[in-house]
Amino acid sequence: MPEKKDRIGFVGLGIMGKQMAANLMKRGFEMIVFNRSKKAVEELASVGAKAAASPKEVARNSDVVIDMVTDAPDVEEVLFGKSGVSEIARNGLVVVDMSTNSPANARSFASRLAKLGVLFLDAPVSGGDKGAREATLTIMVGGKKDVFERCKPIFESMGKEIVYMGESGSGQATKLCNQVAVSINTLATCEALLLGASENLDPNDLLKVLTSGAAGSWNLANLGPKIVKGDFEPGFKAAHLSKDLRYVMQLSEADHLMLPGSSVVYQLFNSVLAENDGEKGTQVLAEVLEKLAAHETLSKQEK
């Protein structure tokens, strides 16, 4: 007989979470879901998921509970708040935090849950809404190796590159390294297109050159065309990247690291938030640079 699959609970059905839960359902996992906004719950319930009224109800009916929420306070609320997962804690239950926060938070969550007999993995992801939709996410995991092995089929239903990074907190530490590279590459993409626009280069031809040579990157290929079109819809929200960079700055201070590129791009994303553009995609950084320029540039060319 085939091995019985874990029942999966999913809390947090935003831009990425809903797609990740949907992919788990496509792979035959029994699902129960919760989200503060009910529309996403209703959409998944219409194709076979069970709807829950709270994280507590999710935990009661799951073997593995996944949360995909915004920040550490949200994870805290899901796990330890009123009607949270901890109220129905039991030996062998697994919690997988796939949101992005910090290594210290991950270690704290793991320790507190362990006292209740609950196992914990920190497993943040990279790949944006496209990776979530196409089940091609990169998933970086911290926690006990045997718990990772148990959950690996779950991760493989949502992602393409699944990497065990080590003890609790290692997944979050890896994600923050990822966000350093992502944010600086986002700035590089915006600056390259800004310079090209100021020299009256055709932006689409410029993208062809940049993406095909040594400058090529995921950012150029995926965000470059959006910037040229003036499309700032979020695949990953600017506010979320700003939050992640805040954790990077905390780590750099604690570890006495000089991270000048990260520091500069963090301040630039603070400017994005000051412009009330945090709900837009990270490519909206281009607009901040435009406002600092002496003349109209990028998205103005295509509008």
User: Which residue in 163, 77, 87, 162 sits closest to 118, CA to CA?
Assistant: 87
Q: How many CB atoms lie within 10 A of CB 287?
A: 21
Per-residue pLDDT of the chain (303 residues; tens, 9 = 90+): 456 789 999 999 999 999 999 999 999 999 999 999 999 999 999 999 999 999 999 999 999 999 999 999 999 999 999 999 999 999 999 999 999 999 999 999 999 999 999 999 999 999 999 999 999 999 999 999 999 999 999 999 999 999 999 999 999 999 999 999 999 999 999 999 999 999 999 999 999 999 999 999 999 999 999 999 999 999 999 999 999 999 999 999 999 999 999 999 999 999 999 999 999 999 999 999 998 886 555 655 554
Per the annotation, the verdict on 50 as an active-site residue is no
Contact at 8 Å (CB) between 25 and 49? yes
Question: Measured between alpha carbons, how far is 156 from 149 in angstroms, rounded to an integer?
Answer: 11
Report pTM.
Answer: 0.93
Question: Measured between alpha carbons, how far is 74 from 166 in angstroms, rounded to an integer?
Answer: 24
Question: Measured between alpha carbons, how far is 75 from 123 in angstroms, rounded to an integer?
Answer: 13
**Rg (the chain; Cα; Å):** 20
| Exposed/middle/buried for residue 48 (C-beta within 10 Å: 0-12, 13-18, 19+) | exposed
Domains located in the chain, CATH noted: 8-166 (3.40.50.720), 174-301 (1.10.1040.10)
Selected catalytic residue, list 18, 175, 237, 243: 175
